[in-house]
Chain A
Amino acid sequence: MKNFFFVFLLGIFTAFSSVAQQTIIKGSVKDAVTGELIPNVTITIEGTSQFTTTDASGEFVFTENVPLGEHVLSLSKSGYITARFPIVVNQAQTLEITDMFLKIDVSDSPDLFTITLSDDELNDDTSGADNISGLLSSSQDIFQRTAAFEFSSSFFRVRGLDSENGTVLMNGVEMNKMFNGRPQWSNWGGLNDVMRNQEFTTGLTPSAYNFGGILGTTNIDVRASHYRKGGRITYSSSNRSYTNRLMASYASGLVEGGWSYSLSIGRRWGDEGYQDATFYDANSFFVSVEKKINDKHSLNIAGVYAPNRRGKSSPNTQEVYDLKDIRYNEYWGWHDGEKRNSRIKRVEEPIVMLNHYWNLSEKTSLNTNFAYQWGELSNSRLDFGGGANPSPAYYQKLPSYFLADDDAPDLAGAYEAEQNFINNGQIDWNRIYDANLTNNASGNYAAYVLYEDRVDDSQFTANTIFSSELSENIVLNASLNYRNLKSENFAEIIDMLGSTTGYLNRDAFDGFAFDTNNPYFVASEGDKFRYNYNLFSKVYSGHVQALFKYNKIDFYVAGSYAKTEYQREGLFENGANIGNSFGKGSKVKFNGLGAKGGFTFKITGKHLIDINAAYLTKAPSLRNTFTNARSNHDIAGVVNGVNITGDEITEEKITSLDASYIFRSPLVNARLTGFYTKMQDANEVSFYYADGIGGFEDENGIVQTNEFVSEVLQGVDKKHIGAEFGIEAQVTPTIKLKGAASLGQYTYDNNPNFYLSVDDKVVTYGDGTTNLKDYKVSGGPQQAASIGFEYRDPDYWWFGATSNFFSKTYIDVSPVTRTSSFYLDPTDGLPLNDYDPNVARELLKQEQFDDYMVVNLVGGKSWKIGDYLVGFFATVNNLLNKEYKSGGFEQARNANYTELLEDVNNPKRLFGPKYWYGRGTTYFLNIYFRF
């Protein structure tokens, strides 16, 4: 009894003393060059689950559960080289360390990705190409960094997934566009220096900000107080998309009165990038101001504006590439001695946001944000209502057309066409103006106009993000989100090209009015024509997430819900869709649910196992919901109010699993992952201009030209399985070897519903489905590998090289030829007489592009001059100037076996696939000055 009491007292006494005499580690982190305190540095006590971050004053403290004895503090922050400091912790003592320094990582070059990224957006009408590297560039994982920097110019997709599966946030506000779900990187292009604070959580791993998609979440931190005090001026020279870039930025750090601000301006420009006539003209502006109201509240205002204009370049058939070269671009022509590109993309979409940070307690915080984005997104092109197709690579102008003559190959015509194309082969602006001037004299409407397809979005976002450390092992996150979009879509004439008579707002081929409310409207510069509609979208969502961190195991579980509502409002009554075009259509509603969970099991400090699983249902994007928004209210599966496929539009379902083995040691880091993703019930709506597309003959058998076609796939299933591997080894203090690989197989997993929708009709083929099962998904190489090294000299210069191998890139197949009508005679529906299944198999084989290897170099040096840092770095991509196809698509022209066989048997194919080629050798040189 007495013993018990004594032990009890001892216990209380010990407990008391441990409260009264805490073991504390505290200190600050400074910049190795400038000596300034660095905020937002992540400090981890290695081997434990303890971590914290330095505050705005660069200071940190560990007060709870501080482990005793010898330990190592690991310091990391994006933009800095991770550093490790050994410490000794004694019980009930305060350990103060103020001499920890971090060095700027001069090889940290998000610039590498930004060039190939936002500037490489291809023609949105026809390609699904997009880029995910911006999502990954801030990752510390060697595989992801390789994917971001080495694989991006090949349009590699991590796990074959489209960038809509990853979320990009800025100060907690989602930046992905509601139209197609993808982040629009050009909205903040040219602001690299102030967009460096990025926090990336990969795949399904829990993010502090949202539930996220299956590809991960990147949060770009633009909070003014989180910037390192000082300024930076950067000049760059390149031959990729722009030729020159100038950026200047300055951050104040925390100043008197609790204020801090950060500014950046920049310009990127160039007359011509790698492809001909791809000019670049962009300016960037950024400002962020924060006021620390008191210890609990802080308010930040940020504005981003990056207006940019660039000339686009065309995908071309092999015949065209062979006659010209891989820089050839059919979109431009000479205009009084100047290269004038007819297809210009213009993005001017400023963002303003207000962020409120509230530390309810030391463990709980609430971040509330309001953001508003508005502006214009435009793509220009020529319309030819009264003239011949102005495209210099129109199939009727190429040698193949003359060689395919019904009677006999017209060799003379083919030769003339070939010489014309080689010697010229560009848009004839003089002819276009002459046609309009001639029509002025005749009193006829314009034959040609230059117009832009406009998307003017106004989007308001409000959200609140809650985070609380419930105990030392449990963190709770939650969020509520509201997004409201009004998207105004219309075509507007931007240049009458010499015409004074105007342009009739009626379909030139079918003769119906684009707006029966104004059936004979004559449009001029600045007028809306062709189509005019609004899309409204509202999303209400929320998520809850719990993270558990223990010694041996970390695990998490999270759930989310999203209510999505879309509605179309037609402002024109399209003459071919009367009754289904003007006014507000029905609302389309979706409910999205998500659940995910996973754990990381630490076998030892060196060996970890990480497993994640998720199941989500999500609303299709606006683009994949409205099948023909320019003309009518139709949604996937529905035509003129009537369901034609038998399947109602529904949420997309995604099942995702991954398992990784991770090895960590001071010298070697490695990860091996296996993944499985199954997507079901997705819609894919793509648009293109058909020229003579099969199935669109009018009643006289005349094939319509220049129809704007929507290709609708409904209920698409895909299966992505594969493995990723990454390893980096610091073999000597100065040399690091690295390697990464991704081997995957991404295929269609069913035969989805398929139909084509044009202004006034819908065409179904066979039984309404297309046989896509087991065809490979197009979009980047399904297999990629990289090996390389980095050398860092203590004298502040560095050099690296990688060899990258790509294979299994597949062409985008045309669904039209994979339907059962392929082998049926269109007149009687019976199998074609001459149908040979072996030949058909050859014709329908999916083209796989050649394997190729690309060598990249990178290097740089920096000098410290007094308090300033000056340096340069340069990269050379594709050193060996390898020519390779990076993507392509089959043209939809030949609808059945007979037509396709005839085309293939021509001396040269008329309607062969169109391809994009990767760039040859390109360089990027960056010179910077930091103060």
Chain B
Amino acid sequence: MKNNINFMKTNRILNRALAIFAIMVITACVQDDDFTVPNSVGAEENEALQDMLNGNAEEVSILDLKAMYDNDPNNDNYHSDALPFQVDTNIYVKGYVSSSDLTGNFYEEIYIQDNFEDPTAAIKVIINQTDLNNKYNKGREVYINLIGLYIGEERTGNNVITIGAGTETDEYGTTVTSLGENLTNAKILRSSSTMELVPLTKTFSSITDEHIGMFVQVDGAEFEDDLNGLAYFDPIEDYDTQRTMQACEGSTYTTMILETSSYSNFKNEQLPTGNGSIAGIISKDYTGDTLIMALNTTDDVNMTEARCSL
């Protein structure tokens, strides 16, 4: 009899113990592996954008924004005395990203143009971050909340008007500095819209400083004869390689320089030898004297026709 009771006691205790065990196993959940896209992605940025659009901020055109900075204050062609303009009113611009740093040809910078087709003005923004293409992708509609930011140049007098966060001065003049992480997240706000950019068709001779920052296409272009067999980048160079392109316009060649960075991943590709279209961002070379074109990607190069001949 006593044995039976003992057995039953064991059984009851065992049962209780097993029950507790089971409960603990079932309720003892820890981080599992099933994660999906977080719900909060983009929420903060959307909110900031809505706040700005619904608030007191006024939109200005990129053209008007650029005019706020005067890089020749005394009209004497002397740029070292130019001072970046600090925006002190509650204004913003809207634009579409025209450049992409995916291939490495651009670095810590984006260009935005005021329309995804037939742009009339474009401006540069310098940001202290790499791989900007996975945030400010080409064709993305962005709004820039300008109050507190500076409009100026990275090299005084080169006419590549740039939005920056601060200024620094050396013997050559006062230039703008990059936006850091906090400022970028607060000021450069994306909408959810990405548009297919339609390149602005121009000829080499009709491209001027007003096209700086725009996504421009030139048809009937080819690389100079003596570049046959060379790559986009010349290994002797440290930073950028300039390759001259030409187009047959009437009885002469018109030319323009294509500039390729040593950091680009297509730098060792052979220059095409045919004739066709090429599209890229218009900018200036390092000295600021010469207009150049820089590629987003070699996919924008279609030189498969026969070369034009004069």
Q: CB within 8 Å of B: which residues of A?
A: 231, 233, 244, 246, 248, 267, 269-271, 279-281, 311, 335-336, 338-341, 386-388, 407, 412-413, 416, 420, 429-431, 433-439, 441-442, 444, 447, 494-495, 498, 511, 699-702, 866-868, 929, 931
Contact (Cβ within 8 A) B42 A511? no
> Is the beta-carbon distance between B41 and A430 smaller than 8 angstroms?
yes
B309 at the interface (CB under 8 A from A): no
On whether the beta carbons of B10 and A931 are closer than 8 Å, the reply is yes
> Is B131 touching A434 in the complex (CB atoms < 8 A)?
no
CA distance A339 to B33 in the complex (A): 12
Within 8 A of A (CB), among B107-158: 129-131, 133-135, 137-140
Docked complex Cα distance between A829 and B152 (Å): 44
A residues in contact with B102, CB < 8 Å: 386, 444
A4→B296 CA distance, assembly (Å): 116
Chain B residues bordering chain A, tally (CB within 8 A): 45
B134 cross-chain contacts in A, Cβ below 8 A: 386-387, 434-436, 438-439, 444, 447
Query: CB distance A434 to B41 under 8 Å?
Result: yes
Indicate if the CB atoms of B31 and A338 lie closer than 8 Å.
Answer: yes
Given A244-B28, A279-B31, A433 contacting B137 (CB threshold 8 A): no
Q: How far is the CB of B83 from chain A (nearest CB, A)?
A: 19
What are 6 A-B contacts with C-beta separation under 8 Å? A244-B28, A413-B180, A431-B135, A434-B135, A867-B6, A931-B13
Residue from A271, A494, A700 within 8 A of B30 (CB atoms): A271
Residues of B within 8 A of A435 (CB): 131, 134-135
Instruction: Please name all residues of chain B whose beta carbon is closer than 8 Å to the beta carbon of A867 when the two chains form the complex.
Output: 6
B116 shortest CB reach to chain A, Å: 14
Provide the bound-state CA to CA distance between A747 and B165, in Å: 53
Complex CA–CA separation, A931 to B15 (angstroms): 13
Assembly CA distance A429 to B263 (angstroms): 28
Contact check, A441 vs B137: say whether CB atoms are below 8 A apart: yes
| Cβ–Cβ contact A437 & B37, under 8 A | yes
Q: Are B24 and A442 in contact (CB under 8 A)?
A: no
Q: How far is the CA of A699 from the CA of B18 in the complex (A)?
A: 67
* Chain A nearest Cβ from B54, distance in angstroms: 23
Please state if A281 and B31 are interface contacts (CB–CB under 8 Å): yes
Q: Is B182 an interface residue (CB 8 A)?
A: yes
Please encode chain B, from 18 to 43, with 1 for each CB lying within 8 Å of some chain A CB and 0 for all others. Answer: 10010011001111010101111110
| A339-B31, A931-B10 known; A430-B38 Cβ under 8 A | yes
Chain B residue numbers with a CB within 8 Å of A866 are 6, 9
Choice from B24, B133, B238 contacting A444 with Cβ under 8 Å: B133
Q: Would you call B17 an interface residue if the criterion is a C-beta within 8 Å of the partner chain's C-beta atoms?
A: yes
A340 to B40 CA separation, bound complex (whole angstroms): 15
Which residues does chain A contribute within 8 Å of B129, judged by CB atoms?
388
Q: Which residues of B contact A699 (CB under 8 A)?
A: 235
| Contact A438 to B40, CB < 8 A, known contacts A244-B28, A267-B25, A931-B10 | no
Closest to B165 in A: A412
Interface core residue of B31, B37, B140 (most chain A CB under 10 Å): B31
B183 to chain A, nearest CB (A): 9
Which residues of B have CB within 8 Å of A437?
37, 41
Chain B residues within an 8 Å CB radius of A442 = 100, 133, 137-139, 194
B262 x A447 contact (CB < 8 A)? no
How far does the alpha carbon of A929 sit from the alpha carbon of B14 in the complex, in Å? Answer: 10
> B135 contacts which chain A residues (CB < 8 A)?
431, 434-435, 438
B50 within 8 A of A: no
Give B172 Cβ to nearest chain A Cβ, in Å. 14
Q: CB within 8 A of A246: which of B9, B21, B130?
A: B21
Chain B: CB-nearest residue to A408:
B168
Partner of A700, one of B6, B40, B262: B262
Determine if B138 and A387 form an interchain contact, defined as CB atoms under 8 angstroms apart: no
Q: Which of B17, B35, B41, B133 contacts A340 (CB 8 A)?
A: B35
Bound Cα distance from A511 to B30, whole angstroms: 39
Inter-chain contact B30/A439, CB cutoff 8 Å: no
Q: Is the CB of B37 within 8 A of A269?
A: no
Smallest beta-carbon distance A594→chain B, Å: 45
Question: What's the minimum C-beta distance from A188 to chain B, rounded to whole angstroms?
Answer: 19
Which single member of B31, B39, B194 contacts A341 (CB below 8 Å)?
Answer: B31
* Nearest CB in chain B to that of A346: its residue: B33
A269: which B residues are within 8 A, CB to CB? 28-30
Whether, in the assembled complex, B265 has its beta carbon less than 8 Å from a beta carbon of chain A, the answer is: yes
Q: B35 contacts A246, CB within 8 Å?
A: no
Q: Is B64 an interface residue (CB 8 A)?
A: no
Q: Which residues of B contact A931 (CB under 8 A)?
A: 10, 13-14
Residues of B within 8 A of A701 (CB): 238
The verdict on B181 contacting chain A, using a C-beta distance below 8 Å, is: yes
Closest 6 CB pairs of A and B: A435-B134, A447-B134, A281-B30, A269-B28, A336-B38, A442-B137
Q: What is the bound-complex CA distance between A314 and B180, given in angstroms?
A: 26
Alpha-carbon distance between A564 and B21 when the two chains are bound, in angstroms: 46
- Contacting pair A434 B42 (CB below 8 A): yes
Residues on A with C-beta less than 8 A from B24 are 244, 246, 267
**From A246, A412, A498, contact of B25 by CB (8 A):** A246
Q: Which residues of B contact A439 (CB under 8 A)?
A: 133-134, 137
> How distant is A429 from chain B, measured CB to nearest CB, in Å?
6
> Does A271 lie within 8 Å of B31, measured CB to CB?
yes
Taken residue by residue from 31 to 66, chain B's Cβ proximity to chain A (1 for < 8 Å, 0 otherwise) reads as 101010111111000000000000000000000000
Contact call A929/B17, Cβ cutoff below 8 A: yes
The answer on a CB contact under 8 Å between A420 and B181 is yes
With contact pairs A336-B39, A442-B138, A931-B10 given, residues A388 and B21 touching in the complex (Cβ less than 8 Å)? no
Q: A336 CA to B38 CA in the complex, in Å?
A: 6
19 additional contacts (CB under 8 A) given A429-B38, A442-B139: A248-B18, A267-B24, A267-B25, A269-B28, A269-B30, A271-B31, A279-B30, A280-B30, A340-B35, A386-B134, A413-B180, A416-B182, A437-B37, A438-B137, A438-B140, A442-B138, A511-B265, A929-B17, A931-B13
Provide the bound-state CA to CA distance between A438 and B45, in Å: 14
Which residue in B10, B17, B40, B182 is a CB contact (below 8 Å) of A336? B40
Asked if A233 meets B17 with Cβ closer than 8 Å, knowing A439-B137, A444-B102, the reply is yes
Which residues of A sit under 8 angstroms from B182, Cβ to Cβ? 416, 420
Please determine whether B17 and A387 come into contact, CB atoms closer than 8 angstroms: no
Chain B positions within 8 Å of A431 at CB level: 135
Instruction: Give the residues from 72 to 126 in chain B that come closer than 8 angstroms, CB to CB, to chain A.
Output: 100, 102
Q: Are A388 and B131 in contact, with the CB atoms below 8 A?
A: yes
A386 — which chain B residues lie within 8 A by C-beta?
102, 131, 133-134
Q: How far is the CA of A447 from the CA of B136 in the complex (A)?
A: 13
Residues of A within 8 A of B139 (CB): 442
> 8 Å CB contacts to A: which residues of B176-194?
180-182, 194
Query: Closest CB of chain A to B213's CB: distance in Å?
Result: 19
Contacts of A416 in B (CB 8 A): 180-182
Task: Report chain A residues within 8 Å CB of B194.
Answer: 441-442
**CB-CB < 8 A to B42: which residues of A?**
430, 434
Query: Which of chain A's residues have a CB closer than 8 A to the CB of B35?
Result: 335, 340, 495
Complex-state Cα separation, A388 to B129, whole angstroms: 8
Report the minimal beta-carbon distance from A312 to chain B, rounded to whole angstroms: 12
Q: Kindly provide the distance from the CB of B296 to the nearest chain A CB, expressed in whole angstroms.
A: 11
Residues of chain B within 8 A (CB-CB) of A444 are 102, 133-134, 137
Contact A433 B131 (CB under 8 A): no
Q: Which residues of A contact B10 (CB under 8 A)?
A: 931
Q: Mark B222-255, 1 if CB is under 8 A from A, else 0.
A: 0000000000000100100000000000000000
Which residue from chain B places its CB closest to the CB of A384 in the assembled complex? B131
Please report the C-alpha to C-alpha distance between residue A281 and residue B140 in the assembled complex, in whole angstroms. Answer: 43
Q: Which chain B residues lie closer than 8 Å to A420 at the CB level?
A: 181-182
Write out the residue numbers on chain A whose beta carbons fall within 8 Å of the beta carbon of B28.
244, 267, 269
Q: Contact between B131 and A447 (Cβ–Cβ < 8 Å)?
A: yes
**A412 vs chain B, min Cβ distance (A):** 8
What's the least CB distance linking A864 to chain B, in Å?
15
A447 vs B129: C-alpha distance in the bound complex, in angstroms?
14
The CA of A248 and the CA of B38, in the complex, are separated in Å by: 39
- A389 closest partner in B (C-beta): B130
Query: Nearest-CB distance from B34 to chain A (Å)?
Result: 9
B128 nearest CB across to chain A (Å):
8
